[in-house]
A and B are shown apart, each in its own frame.
Chain A
Amino acid sequence: MATSPRATQQKFEPWTDPDAKPYVRIEKVTKKFGDFIAVDDVSLSIFKKEIFCLLGASGCGKTTLLRMLAGFERPTSGRIFIDGVDMTSIPPYERPVNMMFQSYAIFPHMTVEQNVAFGLKQERLQKGEIENRVNDMLNLVKLGQFAKRKPHQLSGGQRQRVALARSLVKKPKLLLLDEPLAALDKKLREHTQFELINIQETLGVTFVVVTHDQEEAMTLSTRIGLMNHGEIVQVGTPSEIYEYPNSRFVSEFIGSVNTFEGRLVEDEPSYVRIGCDDLEAPIYVDHGVSSAPGATVWAAIRPEKITISREKPDATDNWASAVVRDIAYMGDMSIYLLRLDSGKVVRVTQPNIYRHAEDRITWEERVYLQWYPESPVVVTK
């Protein structure tokens, strides 16, 4: 997982402050297209200066939700407030909101400059002010010398920045970004992610980003709203979503995970023990679970939280024996695919700390897997 550049900065967590007033409030919004429910009873609070990512697979309703914030779609029911004002039935051209489209939607018959000035001209601002603001914005996105170019003379990355400049120049209260980096190649995408965060911090605009790319969501956002079938399934910071998923869906959507199905054998307030058909030893977790004994639960363990060794552990819990089926050398780490005796395949990643590790674990070797009691996450749905 890429680390968030925010980690190094001072704490920004208005959502933990009970007195903080949300800047954008989505209240019980539902959108139906005929019989199809695209967005199902979604309520969300987004705070000022946040980068909030709506993450989900295609068709999960994230784009529809974004389009309702922009005003292109009216909610079937529910209300949307921005900065305290009810925006539910305000048309897009009267909203203090701008959108950066996935296709960028740059006007092909206008130069870069004219594209960026377009929104300001609509506001009937004075010519001098328009020029100043357009120039400032073009410099901010480093397109100063391309002002007179037509869109078709620009590269993909430059076009993306024109679209960004055009939507930011109106100083919107809220900037909506629909898959802002999807059309860029990997190198450029990583670079642009950080640039986007810098620009957002310079201008202090609130961002709502729609993406299907979990890595992009992890890097960019202050918080992620994970969507599935029109519903928000979990809202949280990137690390909350990754480390404390509230369901199998969330744990499997974000990153890779090994999920073991089992029954609660021992259920105490301070620990649980889970019996699992795939494992010789039970799974011991050092926190309680709100579920009845005997109930079916799932223990999710991230690949990097499992260790591999040749010696059989003498612990009673939290281990398994397996045979190495495949190894993928990635440079910084290696991915091991290991087959348990039940046939289930477990994925484990190990950092490659030593350059010439002699006696490396190799194909078809019998090994033992182990993890700490705090590593598994138990989910009940």
Chain B
Amino acid sequence: MKSVLKRLGLDGRSVVTAVPYLWLLLFFLIPFVIVLKISFSTSQIAMPPYEPLLHWAGDKVLQIKLNLGNFAFLVEDDLYWKAYLNSIWVASVSTFFCLLLGYPIAYAIARSNPSARNILMLLIVLPFWTSFLLRVYAWIGILKNNGLLNNFLIWIGAIDQPIQMLQTDFAVYVGIVYSYLPFMILPLYANLEKMDLTLLEAAADLGCRPWQGFLKVTLPLSLPGVRAGCLLVFIPAVGEFVIPSLLGDPGMLMIGKVLWTEFFNNRDWPVASAVAIVLLLFLVIPMMYFQRAQDAEAGGVHR
């Protein structure tokens, strides 16, 4: 075994580091290339429902037919870019509220005593032990007109008539913030927990009141955690399909829903693929930016 690897010019180390590359090749790059290929083909009623890109025309001629129409269609029909913009807006607002809620929670857990920390973190991840779908369904029971929340508000006398909450943007925000909050808390907690607390004592020693110490030391040092948490919430929230379709207004334009409709209702795989490719680009660009910012910081530390 060892000699075989050596003959191939591989040592143990490169075999180990090859694992993630292999994984990404199999489950990211190859599927991406397939989707990219479909996005350039033409829809047809067949199995599979698109024309192949490569066509053997005989006479030693291999024809490649690239259909750019799918992408042109996305630009021509304002439904798509409106859905993209709306998805990014919804994801941004949700990320903002996740941060607003998640930072104090992560901070409180990181500063609580060590024996309580593990229990609190366990409670944060505990919802993952039930199905995501079930948890979103449960919100229907809470938010509907004769649901828990409306009944409670009527009971305490805050309102006379139930407020329409289900099938509104509000319900979508509640659903997304609730579902993705742990993804904000986890990286923030990891960051805040490892912070050297003598830095805060140093700040106090140099004249900082506790809140000034937080603003000048804790907050800037936690930015990598903030960045990681925001990405972990923002990226899946942009493509979110289940929450808007269960809790939101049926007319709400979200790119995840559009993708679903193209794929399953219209059976237009090429357009659906084009939607997915454009969505990926929307996500990859900010992701690369953040990655680079983080690398610059991390690179500095290890130099």
Contacts and interface: CB of A to CB of B under 8 A. Distances in A.
B209 A109 contact: no
Contacts of B220: 109
A72 interface: yes
Nearest to A108: B221
A72 B216 CA distance: 19
B200 to A, nearest CB: 9
Given A105-B196, A105-B202, A109-B221, A93 B301 contact: no
A93 B202 contact: no
A307 B300 CA distance: 59
Contact of A119 (B198, B206, B300, B301): B206
Contacts of B199: 105, 107
A92 interface: yes
A99 B196 CA distance: 16
A118 B202 CA distance: 10
A101 B212 contact: no
Interface string B164-197: 0000000000000000000000000000000010
B228 to A, nearest CB: 17
Nearest to A99: B205
A106 B205 CA distance: 12
Given A99-B205, A109-B221, 12 more contacts: A92-B201, A93-B204, A99-B201, A103-B198, A105-B199, A108-B301, A118-B216, A122-B207, A150-B300, A152-B300, A166-B202, A166-B206
A153 interface: yes
Contacts of A103: 196, 198
A153 B208 CA distance: 26
Contacts of B201: 70, 72, 92, 99, 101, 105
B303 interface: yes
A122 B209 CA distance: 10
Contacts of A98: 205-206
Sorted nearest first, the 6 A-B pairs with minimum C-beta distance are A122-B207, A119-B206, A105-B202, A105-B198, A92-B204, A99-B205
Contact of A167 (B203, B205, B301): B205
Contacts of A93: 204-209
Contacts of B303: 152-153
Contacts of B209: 93
A292 B303 CA distance: 68
- B205, B207, B300 — most chain A CB neighbours (10 Å): B205
A98 B209 CA distance: 15
B35 interface: no
A207 to B, nearest CB: 15
A91 B207 CA distance: 10
B252 interface: no
Contact of A122 (B198, B208, B221): B208
B217 interface: yes
Interface string B265-303: 000000000000000000000000000000000001101
Interface residues of B, number: 20
Nearest to A67: B201
A167 B212 CA distance: 18
A103 B199 CA distance: 9
A150 B217 CA distance: 15
A151 B206 CA distance: 18
B60 to A, nearest CB: 62
Nearest to B301: A152
A359 interface: no
Contacts of A74: none
14 contacts: A72-B201, A93-B205, A98-B206, A101-B201, A103-B196, A105-B198, A105-B201, A107-B199, A107-B203, A107-B217, A122-B206, A152-B300, A152-B301, A166-B206
A170 interface: yes
A106 B199 CA distance: 7
A139 B47 CA distance: 78
A123 interface: yes
A122 B301 contact: no
B30 to A, nearest CB: 40
A20 to B, nearest CB: 28
A152 B298 CA distance: 11
Contacts of B208: 93, 122
A31 B206 CA distance: 24
Contacts of B216: 118
A107 B207 contact: no
B13 to A, nearest CB: 27
A90 B206 CA distance: 14
Contacts of A153: 303
A263 B301 CA distance: 63
A71 B204 CA distance: 9
Contacts of B205: 70-71, 92-93, 97-99, 167
A170 B204 CA distance: 13
A61 B204 CA distance: 22
A123 B202 contact: no
A106 B206 CA distance: 12
A122 B216 CA distance: 11
Contacts of B300: 150, 152
Interface string A71-102: 11000000000000000000111000111010
- A71, A72, A91, A92 — most chain B CB neighbours (10 Å): A92
A109 B203 CA distance: 13
Interface in A318-368: none
A119 B202 CA distance: 10
A71 B210 CA distance: 13
